[in-house]
Structure 1
């Protein structure tokens, strides 16, 4: 596994070593010991989640506040997405930075999103199956987010806005400058 630093502190792209032959492929998707050696971070994943989305579905930008904050390791099992992380840690040297990457079933890349970052993705393929490991349990009372089209973040979602499919809840999230973090 190769770990690539991003422009957000402690946010990493993971690129696995893929072994392919006539039967298909094999790769190690996560190794806690190796991850800790390469990043200096120790994570203990306690919950796995999976979603299925059609083209144009935008989920995000989400995070959990306070004691319920979550680090996530995300990847695409089928299809292709544009994945986005935003550093919302006010004491971070990369506060306000946005990182974008393409995750797909073909490139097998993963993104480690540390606690204190908002996260979202948009489906670029006809459908996508998105998988993520979390280091803390979901708490609906701690749920929070940032509006996807925040003018200060200026995220290019690489899909025409008229084609986006966004939940009602995600359409009324606050702007980045209005965040109140607990």
Structure 2
């Protein structure tokens, strides 16, 4: 099985049909990443398409020996920033909707507790500054390594580690505030 970088090298050399494999590998993680940024499924789909259009357009800028994953997440991130600038507004975060509370049978009570925990987690994460939410999302949800995150965000690896550390510290504070309410 070819690596992402091998496939991208073929794309750079004109085998554009090989991009379909990279799309299959990356559409879900990129869509999730984009959805977290814009909080609108249709906009995330559009940005996913824009990302892969830019992969084709800027394929010659892909450097041999670099990580495709870092490169494509950088393109996706830049697409979000360009979209936000174009619309002259920041992405809107919606509140977490717990929905209707179930009848409190033992299993429904367990479901409610899970939803409540997810709601608290979402609230604690939403209270983080964007720079912390971004590194947490890339590291914990998208599975990027610190070096890859540094490449995507244009930071040093040490700075990424500091942001993760500060995000965790702030999350603890946020959870404590939420539990006191």
TM-score range, shorter chain: under 0.3
Q: Select the structure of larger CA radius of gyration.
A: 2
Bigger helix share:
2
Q: Please, what TM-score do these two structures have when normalized by structure 2?
A: 0.25
TM-score by structure 1 length? 0.25
- Higher relative contact order (CA closer than 8 Å, sequence separation 6+): 1
